[in-house]
A and B are shown apart, each in its own frame.
Chain A
C-alpha cells in the first residue's frame, strides 16, 4: 500500500505551550521540524485560566524569554491586563501576571509558528513511536527513536522526537454523570499513543485536573463585585519588548465570594460529584482544588474568593476563577447562581474535570530525554506538570536538547541555583511526584538569586550559545552586567562626609544623620533610601537605564542575604559538579543501604548532587558513593 514517508530532523507531538516552544527552538536551531496537532485551530490553546504568569510562574516566563523562548513575547502582544504580584514583599517574589486575550494569544503564537523557517505544522494524530533496538555495549539505552506514525499511516522518520501531548492522551471529561471521551474544550483526544509508549516499556499514570465554567458577561451583575484593576505602570514579560509599547488601556477583573448557600448546595450534591462518587481515577492537584474540594477540606471557611475574569476583548465569555467543578450541570448552575453578581448567570461552557494519561517523569534524565530511549524527549503535562508556563519552560529545554542531541553537542541542564526552570525539571525527574506538579517559589531554595528581574543576567548567555538569542541581545546583557558592576563598585568607593548639607538632606528623607563619613552604598542600603533618592548628594553619577538601577538597588539592599545564598550555592555546586558515570553498577557498592541502592538504580542520577536529593539516600550513602567514585576514577 502506498503511504506517505517523510524524512525530517525532529517531530514534536502536540502544539500546546510545550510543543510550540520545543518546535520553535528546534527550527530556530536550524533543524527541519514538524509539529503535530489534532487541530491546527487549537495551537497554543489556553483551555483553563486566561492568564500567563503569577507567583513563580512569572519567573518561568522571564527565564524562558531570557533563553530565547516565545511565550513572553506573545503575551506582551496579547495581554489585556497586567499586574506585578507581591510588590509589597521582597524582590525575589515579585511576579508578573497578565490576563491574556486567549484567542489573540493562540492566533499570535500560531502566526509565529507558521512563519518560522524550517518548521511545518501538520494536523494529524500521532499513534505510534517508531524505534529501533539498540545494541549498546554499556546497555544504557535499549532503544533509539527513528520516527513517528500518524493515524492515517503516514510515517515521519526523525532523529529526535519531543512528546508534548498535554492532557490529550486517553482524555476523559467529566461533568457530573455526563462523561465524554474528549480532550479539553471538546477537542478530539489521542487514544493510541499510550499503548505505543507502554509497549516501549514506558510507565504511564493517570492524572486529573479541572476548570470552572465560562459565563456570558451580559448575564452578570458587576455592581455586586469588587473591581480589580491592572497596574498603572506595566512591566513587560519579555526582555526584548520595549516597555513603552505595553502601556495599554486595560480591562478589569472582578472579585466576588461564595457563601453558605453555595456550600450547602455543594454538600447536598456531593454524591453526584464524580470525584466523591469514586468515578475519577486520576490524581488531581491539591493547589487548584475544585470548589467541592475546598468546601469539604476547609469546612470552617465561610466563603471562598471568586475571580471573574474576561477571556478576551472580542468575546463576552468570562472565566469564573476559584470555582472549578465536576458537579453535574444542574448543580453547577444552582451553585453559581448563589454567588453575588452571578444570580442570573448564563453558562456558556460548563465546568468539567479532565483525566488524562501522562508518564512518571522519573524515567527522564534532567535533559528531558528518556532514560531508555535514545533521542526521545518529552515536556509539559505529559511529564506530570501542570500550568502553561511549566509546560512552555520544559518545552524549550526539551526542544533545545533534542536539537543539541542531533548536532552532537552537550545538552543543557540548568541546575537549581541557576533557574526556576532548573528547579522545576530537577524536582520532576528526581523527586517522587504524586500529583500534577506546579511551580512554587518555596520550591526554589536559592530564590533570592533566582529573581524575575535578573533572569536575563542569569540565562541570556546560555540562550545565546544555543543560538536562540541574538548577538545584539546578548551584548546588551554583557554591557548591563558591566554597568552594574562598575556602579556598585563606585558606590562602595565614594564617601560622603557628615557635614551639614548631608545631614539636612538625610533628615529631609526621614533618614537618621551620619556620625562619621559613609559610602554611598551604605546610604542606598538604608530601607528608607534608594539609589534614585540620593541623586542630589551624588552629582557625578553616570546616566543609567532603569533596569541597571533596579539591579544596583537590589544588590546593595539585600547584599547580606544574597551573599549567604551565594555561599550555599558554592557548597551545592561542589557535589553537583561531581558526575556519575552512566554505566555505574550500584549493586557493586556493597555499603550502600538497601533502600539507597534501589533508588539510585531506579533514578540513575547524573551527578552526586542529584543523587543526594533522592529521598531515601542518606548523607552516609553519599559519602560511600563518593569514595566509590574516587576509587573508580583511580582505577
Chain B
C-alpha cells in the first residue's frame, strides 16, 4: 500500500542524553538526504546499504543543527515494513524539536499518535495476537493528545484561530453563494476586497506560526518557579527577565501576595515563570493563601529559582523553603551581592545536609538585581541545562506545539495559494477551494471539523433566491 511519509520523536523528549527522530514511508530516505550531510558531504543515504549507521551532521539549509548518527533501514525489514530512517541526536527538547522541524519541512508530515505502531500492524509486522493492544494504544494516545491539545492552547491563540476561521468562512460562503446563485449575488469588485483580506489573514497566520516557533502558542513553557523569603528580590528578578514593571516591587516585605505569571523567551527557550509570594510565617490571611499556592506551584515546577538575600542570615523560613525544594532542580541566586555578604553556598548546602534533604541544586550564582549583575550567568545556566536535557519537561507539550505548528503551516500554505490565484487572476471559484483548506487546517488546532459549517454560513448570511 502506498502511503505518505511520517516522522516523529521516538524517544522521550527530555531528560535523556540521546534522542531519536524516526522517519517512515516511501520518502524517508529522500527526506533524510535533504537534511543530512556526511563529513565529506558526498554520501547519500539513499545509496547506502540497508541496516547501516552513518555519522554526519543535520543542517537546516546552511544552519548546522546537530552532530548525529543516522540509521538507514530499508523496507521490508523494519518496524513499519516501510523505508525507515532513525536520526540519533543529542537529547534535549531544543535540538530534537529543531531536527523534527527541519525533517517535517522536507517531505513528510508529523505522525499521528500511535501511527508507527498502526503501520507496523497494518503492514503485517506485528502479530495478530497483539491487535487488541495496538487498538488500545492508538485509542489512548489519541485521547491523550486531544485533551492535551485543547488544554494546552492559550486562550488568546484559540480566540485568534476562531476569529480567523470565522473570517475565512464568511468569504467562502460569499463566493459560494454567488456561484450557486449568480443572479442574486454578484462578485463584481469583490476580488480587491478579498485580496486585502487574504493578505491580512495570511500575515496573521504567519505570525501564529512564528509564535509556535517561539513556543508562545502554549500555556506551558518550562515551569519555572521563583521562591524565596519576602523582599529578597524575586519580583525584581522577574522584572529584569520580563523587561517590564509587572510585579509590584517595593521594599516592604510581603508585597507580592499572589502569583504572577509570565512567559518569556530566553535564548530561544520558552519559560513560564511564576513569581510567588514570599514564604514566611504569617498571620495575614491573604498572604497565607499566597504562601499555600507557592508551595503548590513549587511542587509542580520543572525548575526552581531560589532567591536568597545573601546580606541576611538564613532563618527558619529558609528551612521551610529548603523542604519545599528538596529533590527538585534548583538554581540558587545569592542576591544583593552589592551589599555585605552573610550567606554563601556552603551555608545552604550544609543546612540541607543537616536537615537530611536531598539537594537538587545545580548551581549557585551571585547576583544583584539592583545592579543587574550575575544575570547573564544565570541566563546561560538555564540555557545550558536546557540544551543538555537537564530540565524535565512534559513531552506532550512539544508534540502538541509541533502539531499546531504543522496545521498552521498548512493553513499558511493554503492562504499563499489563494494569493497566488489572485495574482494570476484566476476565476473566483478557485479561491474558495484553498480558503476551505485553510479553514480545515485551522480547525485541527482547536479540534473542530468542517461538517456543515459552510452550508450553514451560506444560508445564514446570504439570501438565496428561487
* A residues neighboring B (CB under 8 Å): 49, 55-56, 85-86, 88-90, 92-93, 286-289, 294, 297-298, 301, 304-305, 307, 321-322, 324, 431, 440-443, 445, 447-448, 527, 561, 571, 574, 589-593, 615, 618-620, 623-624, 626-628, 630-631, 634-635
Are B464 and A93 neighbours in the complex by a CB distance under 8 Å?
Answer: no
Given contacts A55-B182, A305-B183, A305-B465, contact A591 B138 (CB under 8 A): yes
- Contacting A at CB under 8 A, from B98-157, are 112-115, 118, 121-122, 124, 128, 131-132, 134-136, 138-139, 142-143, 146
What chain A residues lie within 8 Å of B124 (beta carbons)?
A: 634
Q: How far is the CA of A138 from the CA of B139 in the complex (A)?
A: 29
What chain B residues lie within 8 Å of A289 (beta carbons)?
A: 463-464
Are B459 and A624 neighbours in the complex by a CB distance under 8 Å?
Answer: no
B242 an interface residue at 8 Å Cβ cutoff? Answer: no
Q: Which of A90, A92, A620, A631 has the most CB of B within 10 A?
A: A620
Known: A90-B426, A294-B463, A615-B451. 6 other contacts (CB 8 A): A89-B427, A93-B429, A289-B464, A574-B2, A619-B112, A620-B138
Between-chain CB contacts (< 8 Å), 19 pairs: A86-B179, A93-B427, A287-B464, A288-B464, A297-B463, A307-B465, A441-B176, A442-B176, A447-B433, A571-B4, A591-B139, A592-B139, A620-B112, A623-B118, A624-B138, A627-B118, A627-B138, A628-B135, A635-B128
A630 CB contact (under 8 Å) in B3, B122, B182: B122
Instruction: Report the interface size class on chain B.
Output: 35 or more
Map CB proximity to A onto B182-207 as digits: 1 under 8 Å, 0 otherwise: 11100100000000000000000000
Map CB proximity to A onto B435-466 as digits: 1 under 8 Å, 0 otherwise: 01000000000000101101100110001111
What chain A residues lie within 8 Å of B142 (beta carbons)?
A: 618-620, 623
Are A440 and B455 neighbours in the complex by a CB distance under 8 Å?
Answer: yes
User: Closest residue to A255 on the B side, CB-wise?
Assistant: B183
Q: How far is the CA of A491 from the CA of B180 in the complex (A)?
A: 35
Given contacts A620-B143, A623-B112, A627-B135, contact A55 B180 (CB under 8 A): yes
Given contacts A55-B182, A630-B121, A630-B122, contact A623 B114 (CB under 8 A): yes
What chain A residues lie within 8 Å of B138 (beta carbons)?
A: 591, 620, 623-624, 627
Q: How far is the CA of A574 from the CA of B122 in the complex (A)?
A: 14
Are B128 and A631 neighbours in the complex by a CB distance under 8 Å?
Answer: yes
Are B463 and A574 neighbours in the complex by a CB distance under 8 Å?
Answer: no
| Nearest CB in chain A: distance from B415 CB, A | 15
Q: How far is the CA of A55 from the CA of B179 in the complex (A)?
A: 7
Q: Which of B132, B425, B436 has the most CB of A within 10 A?
A: B132
User: Closest residue to A571 on the B side, CB-wise?
Assistant: B4
- Contacting A at CB under 8 A, from B38-96, are none
Describe B's contact surface by its main secondary structure. helix
Are B118 and A287 neighbours in the complex by a CB distance under 8 Å?
Answer: no
Are A56 and B463 neighbours in the complex by a CB distance under 8 Å?
Answer: no
Given contacts A294-B463, A305-B465, contact A85 B182 (CB under 8 A): yes
User: Closest residue to B2 on the A side, CB-wise?
Assistant: A574
B302 an interface residue at 8 Å Cβ cutoff? Answer: no
What chain B residues lie within 8 Å of A304 (beta carbons)?
A: 463
User: Closest residue to A228 on the B side, CB-wise?
Assistant: B183
Given contacts A85-B182, A615-B451, contact A301 B176 (CB under 8 A): no
Are B430 and A287 neighbours in the complex by a CB distance under 8 Å?
Answer: no
User: Closest residue to A592 on the B side, CB-wise?
Assistant: B139
Are B176 and A623 neighbours in the complex by a CB distance under 8 Å?
Answer: no
User: Closest residue to B179 on the A side, CB-wise?
Assistant: A93
What chain B residues lie within 8 Å of A307 (beta carbons)?
A: 183, 465
Are B180 and A441 neighbours in the complex by a CB distance under 8 Å?
Answer: yes
Q: How far is the CA of A86 from the CA of B122 in the complex (A)?
A: 46
B428 an interface residue at 8 Å Cβ cutoff? Answer: yes
| Nearest CB in chain A: distance from B445 CB, A | 15
Q: How far is the CA of A322 from the CA of B464 in the complex (A)?
A: 9
Q: How far is the CA of A627 from the CA of B184 in the complex (A)?
A: 49
| Nearest CB in chain A: distance from B340 CB, A | 63
Given contacts A286-B459, A448-B433, A618-B142, contact A627 B464 (CB under 8 A): no
B432 an interface residue at 8 Å Cβ cutoff? Answer: yes
Q: Which of A86, A88, A324, A626 has the most CB of B within 10 A?
A: A86
What chain B residues lie within 8 Å of A56 (beta carbons)?
A: 180
Given contacts A322-B465, A442-B176, A635-B128, contact A627 B122 (CB under 8 A): yes
What chain B residues lie within 8 Å of A447 (beta carbons)?
A: 429, 433
Are B128 and A634 neighbours in the complex by a CB distance under 8 Å?
Answer: yes
Q: How far is the CA of A192 from the CA of B397 in the complex (A)?
A: 61
Are A442 and B128 neighbours in the complex by a CB distance under 8 Å?
Answer: no
User: Closest residue to A287 on the B side, CB-wise?
Assistant: B464
Are B427 and A88 neighbours in the complex by a CB distance under 8 Å?
Answer: yes
Given contacts A49-B466, A635-B128, contact A615 B449 (CB under 8 A): yes
Q: How far is the CA of A533 from the CA of B95 in the complex (A)?
A: 57
B1 an interface residue at 8 Å Cβ cutoff? Answer: yes
B376 an interface residue at 8 Å Cβ cutoff? Answer: no
What chain A residues lie within 8 Å of B433 (beta carbons)?
A: 447-448, 561
User: Closest residue to A527 on the B side, CB-wise?
Assistant: B425
What chain A residues lie within 8 Å of B139 (beta carbons)?
A: 591-593, 620, 624
Are B135 and A590 neighbours in the complex by a CB distance under 8 Å?
Answer: yes
What chain B residues lie within 8 Å of A441 (beta carbons)?
A: 176, 179-180, 429
